[in-house]
A and B are shown apart, each in its own frame.
Chain A
Amino acid sequence: MGANLEQVTTHEPGLALHVEDLTVTYGQAPVLWDIDVDVPPGVMAAVIGPNGAGKSTLLKSVLGLLRPVAGHVRFFGRPVKEMRRQIAYAPQRHSVDWDFPTTAVDVVEMGLYGEIGWFRRPGRDHRARAMAALNEVEMADLAHRQISELSGGQQQRVFIARSLVQDAPLMILDEPTAGVDITTEGIILDLLKRLRDRGKTLIVVHHDLTNVEAHFDWLIMVNVQVVAQGPLKSVFTEDNLRATYGRRLTP
């Protein structure tokens, strides 16, 4: 951790995400224990760690979807409540029932429901933005396909398009490349990199250690506690990996 991160004050407007002393438990068992995380703006950060290390829990609790036992979260210096519109979140694909009667473009449009506001209907321009987002994930030709007829990789891309359409400065994605083939993973990771180059901040739970180095530039290594975090080049070391994954290190 760099020296500049040590001087963190409670409100840290310079950081896209600032987490202090976060502890989350399920019942008695700690899932995250006294975690501090800092993510500067403009990076593409990977959250890595073994199964059950609390990666998804970290995302959910910073977003306020889980109630932590203790802790303190700021996005660009502000609490999550005030920043909803600035954060796009894509949960794991398996968190929803894909047999829901709807089409790909309709799911993407759901990303705009928060922005549209109460009692209003999505209009033609919202539909156009949804189509544009689908186009970016190379799914435009499947826009009107039932989501139950999409493959896993295509469903994954629909979710990414749904977070993309919100045009938020910060995107938080939970395993966007889980269970997709290599081609699709390439499409997704290239897209995320393009987004970062446009100035967006991305926080991505990632499971494939073989390509972390090639795609990400910031790393958060979690196993109940934060083992290491910082610029990928300085953090992605064998020692840290062993500390994160224990002996089961299989990069």
Chain B
Amino acid sequence: MSLLAELLGSRVVQLVVIGAALLGAISGVLGSFAVLRQQSLLGDTLSHAALPGVCLGFLIAGDRHLGLLLAGALVTGGLAAGTVLVITRCTRLKTDAALGIALSVYFAIGTVLLTVIQSRGDAGAAGLSTFLFGQAAAITRGDIQLMAVAGVLIAAVVLLLWKEFKLVTFDPESARAAGLPVMALQSALTLIVAVAVVVGLQLVGVILMVAMLIAPAAAARQWVGSLAGMVVLAGCLGALAGGSGALISATGRGLATGPVVVLLISAIVLVSLALAPGRGVIWRWRARRRLSRTLTRESRSSADLRRRHVPVRGLKR
């Protein structure tokens, strides 16, 4: 307990914990929409595409000016999303192929830029590679403020456009038939995912960021039956995993925060997939066994009619 108190007393640890929790909450909320739109990989593409943006930002600024780096990340992320859209619209390739192409091309560009910058041996250039896996300890008070502002903005947009986002996520075709600007709404969703990705770059890096989007949503879906419930729970699980992952990584020397957070949220996913009532694998297996035992007993007692009263809810067809 004293270790915990000691840790939380440290300024750096406080910042990292708050930052990771904020990021977990934001990405949990947005990831819910991405997962339900069956676009989980979009986050992956956006985050990998952020790397060339970060490098370009560095080349323009000449040093590690965070604002410019993140602006660059947002721009190339948006370009990648546009690339995916153009590929799916103009060719016969499906979304998954387009996402894969955009991801690898932009990441390759980013890697080339990164090596070019590093070979020039600029001061501060070494710090750029931390964007690959994130470096939580480098987080500053200003970064937290930036994250908080982004979080509030994203929450406001999601609340204001709640029912439109919901309809576009569930049934885009009907949304269009009802006269909603589906393209604009989908672009807005993609854009705020890109913002979340950019916010998370420093903490978890471009490679693992996708887990922060998908995992809380996948876990939350197991426990709840409404979009609102899923979004709130995913935000909470993301914040929980982010905060406690940051704390755990602070206890060990050299434990990288991003990967620990990702492992933690993955553990939550695993438990949810196995145990959640109604949807969990083990839960359904046990329900099936219970049912088959009851049925065997009842058919022996020849009360076949009572069979109808055995609860089968939650057993999938």
Residues of A at the B interface (CB closer than 8 Å) are: 27, 60, 63-65, 81, 84-85, 87, 89-91, 95-97, 100-103, 106-107, 110, 113-114, 116, 118-119, 121-122, 146, 148-149, 151, 162
Contact = CB atoms under 8 A, between A and B. Distances in A.
Contacts of A64: 176-177
Contacts of A146: 225
Contacts of B174: 89-91, 110, 162
A152 to B, nearest CB: 9
A151 B174 CA distance: 21
A143 B66 CA distance: 51
Q: Which 8 A-B pairs have the closest CB atoms?
A: A114-B178, A84-B179, A89-B177, A96-B171, A91-B173, A100-B170, A146-B225, A113-B163
A65 B163 CA distance: 20
Contact of A118 (B164, B169, B316): B164
Main secondary structure on chain B at its contact with chain A? helix
A44 B286 CA distance: 49
B177 A63 contact: yes
A100 B36 contact: yes
A149 B313 contact: yes
A87 B177 contact: yes
Contacts of A84: 177-179
Interface stretch (B56-64, B226-234, B248-256): B226-234
15 contacts: A27-B92, A63-B177, A84-B178, A97-B38, A100-B169, A100-B227, A101-B36, A101-B225, A101-B227, A103-B226, A106-B226, A110-B167, A110-B174, A113-B163, A151-B317
B224 interface: yes
A101 B221 contact: yes
Interface residues of B, number: 32
A100 B313 CA distance: 17
A95 to B, nearest CB: 6
A130 to B, nearest CB: 13
B166 interface: yes
Contacts of B230: 101
A95 B226 contact: no
Nearest to B312: A149
Interface string B131-168: 00000000000000000000000000000111110110
Given A110-B167, A113-B178, A95 B173 contact: yes
Nearest to B169: A100
A63 B179 CA distance: 10
Contacts of B177: 63-65, 84, 87, 89, 91
A121 B38 contact: no
A102 B225 contact: yes
B179 to A, nearest CB: 4
A149 to B, nearest CB: 7
A34 B17 CA distance: 64
B176 A110 contact: no
B180 interface: yes
B44 to A, nearest CB: 20
B163 A101 contact: no
Contacts of B226: 101-103, 106
A65 B225 contact: no
Q: Which of A27, A84, A85, A100 has the most CB of B within 10 A?
A: A100
